[in-house]
Chains A and B, each alone.
Chain A
């Protein structure tokens, strides 16, 4: 079964707006990672947040982690049409063990120009 579950399944916004995607998981984790997948391509790693961290930034990306609620969020600020992609959270540790990543089913983001 999937460890991470993203919400919403699909999101459509206008260029310049912020996009927020959420991820919930079920068991304890070592870290949580966010990946991006453009159509027809492989996944690309965006950001990793450790279980003892609460917030992390990378450029226009902001990730939060709440281990008490077993949830994470990915915020993309000032979105661009090029941000159109599917975004996946993946958990490391817990039921997957320390070496395996368990992926959610993703949020499909569409940024309209």
Chain B
């Protein structure tokens, strides 16, 4: 079975550019989560969706960050404009129910120069 698929795996771009991260959750999973992982702050939940609807975006750091889930098999996390402090590994995860184990993708390592 295919797991959670994220693309790209690595992204290096210059400050001010728009960055789009993509995620395909496991088929049949109703919940999708976006996380950011840094050495300083650990793993932080940015936003999560239930049945394609954003439920809680309180972890989104600022208006430069936006996330969408146009259908059950695709989600994007966009940063515009990007800043060096956005450099981190961004993970997408999905689960069948909200309180059940989450399945993670292998992440996108983002470097903003």
Contacts and interface: CB of A to CB of B under 8 A. Distances in A.
Interface string B50-89: 1000011000000000000000000000000000000000
Interface residues of B, number: 22
B55 A99 contact: yes
Contact of A42 (B4, B48, B99): B4
Interface residues of A, number: 24
A104 B48 CA distance: 19
B45 interface: yes
| Consensus secondary structure, chain A interface | loop
A43 interface: yes
B101 A98 contact: no
A40 B51 CA distance: 29
Contacts of A102: 45
B79 to A, nearest CB: 20
B106 to A, nearest CB: 5
A44 interface: yes
Contacts, number: 51
B42 A42 contact: no
Nearest to A33: B101
B42 A104 contact: yes
Interface string A74-113: 0000000000000010001100011111111110000000
Interface of B: 4, 31, 33, 42-43, 45, 48, 50, 55-56, 91, 93, 98-107
17 contacts: A30-B99, A31-B99, A40-B106, A41-B107, A42-B93, A42-B107, A43-B43, A45-B101, A45-B103, A48-B101, A88-B43, A92-B99, A99-B48, A99-B50, A100-B56, A101-B33, A105-B42
